[in-house]
Amino acid sequence: MTITDVDTDHLRTAISVARNARVNGNHPFGATLVDASGLQVLAAENSVVTGRDATGHAETNLVRQATGRFAPSELAEFTLYTSTEPCAMCAGAIYWAGIGRVVYALGEDALGEMTGADPENPTLSLPCREVFARGQREITVDGPVDLPEARAVHAGFWG
């Protein structure tokens, strides 16, 4: 796994976006999109509760904005950073967008331990790598990256 300090900085930003989502009354998930030169071009937070939209995950919200603004050839060079591993739905969205790389902090297994059977987030047990492996184009995945703040943003929220 090749995680640089720059990656860690972008993950910390995604986690602060997740903190915002929580403050705004949504689930604590956030994502950012970074272009080939390392510049952050988009950020999106979960909007499931306030938007009354089950598909309003941080990553789907980001993908929707991203494909409206950037060409597939650009997105292939971009990296999506997310506070928690993309679920199967979001992995599908990332795949269809053609984003080239995904970096996540908290793993889905660790999230599942925190959410348990919470009806607000009955975490899917299907790692994003398994979804991407069924596709026809390569997506580089790096994670989990162990950052205390990635767990802290979920503390006391679920259950």
Ligand X SMILES: Nc1ccnc(=O)[nH]1
Q: Which residues are catalytic?
A: 59
Binding site for ligand X (CB under 6 A): 27, 29, 46, 57-59, 82, 84-87
Who's near 6: CB < 8 A, 6+ residues apart? 38
Pair type for strands 79-84 and 101-106: parallel
Q: How far is the CB of 87 from ligand X (least distance, A)?
A: 5
| Residue with tokens 């306030």, as numbered in its chain | 50
Q: How far is the CB of 107 from ligand X (least distance, A)?
A: 10
Q: How far is the CB of 49 from ligand X (least distance, A)?
A: 11
Length of the chain: 159
Tokens of 114: 């925190």
Residue 7 or 85 with smaller CB distance to ligand X? 85
Residue 13 or 82 with smaller CB distance to ligand X? 82
